[in-house]
Structure 1
Amino acid sequence: EVVRVRGLAPRVAYANPRCMRCDKSMKSRGRGQGYGCVRCGAAAAGPVCMDLPRSISCGEYLPRVSAHRHLARPAQRRGRRNGIRFAARLPWHLDYSGE
C-alpha cells in the first residue's frame, strides 16, 4: 500500500517558436517544412521544447489512515518490531480428531 517514487522522467511540452523580430507566435508551414512568421517572414527549424515542473517528487506516498486495510502497518509504526516472543515448542495449530 506504499508507492515509492524512485525517479521521475522529465515532463516536456512542445510549442510553436516565437519570432525574434516581432515576438509573435510562428505558424507551421507543413510537415517537415519548419515554422514561419506570418508578419515578417522569419523562419525557424522546429518546435521549442519546454521543461514543465512535476506535481510529485521522489519519496514514499501513503494513503490516508482511513483508507488503510487491516494488514497494513500504520505509518507511525513503520520500522518498529513487536516485542512479543513465542515459544518454539508450542504448536501454531491443533489437530482435532473426530473420535
Structure 2
Amino acid sequence: MDIEVLGAPAVRVNGVSVVPTAPKPRRVLGLLALHADQVVPVAALVEELWGALPPRSARTTLQTYVLQLRELIGAALAAPGRRQREWEVGEGE
C-alpha cells in the first residue's frame, strides 16, 4: 500500500487508487492512514466525522464506511495484472 499525504492525498494498493470519492469515507481513510499500525478508537473516528453531536446512526454509518474501504482495498488486491510482490523471486534468479 502506497500512501501520499503531501499535496492531494493518494492511497494505492498494487497501483490501484483506493481513495473513496465521498468526503466522509475519505476522512476515515485519512485518519486511519495517519495512524497506521495503531488502533483508532471508534469514538475518535465518530468525533472526526461528526464532532460533538453525532447522529444516532453514527456507529452504523461508520461501519458502512469501513466496509466500503475494505471492498475498495479487496478489489485492488484482486485486480488483474497485479504487480508481483517484492518478496517473490523473478524468473531466472
TM-score, length of structure 2 as denominator length: 0.24
Larger Rg: 1
Which structure features the higher share of strand residues?
1
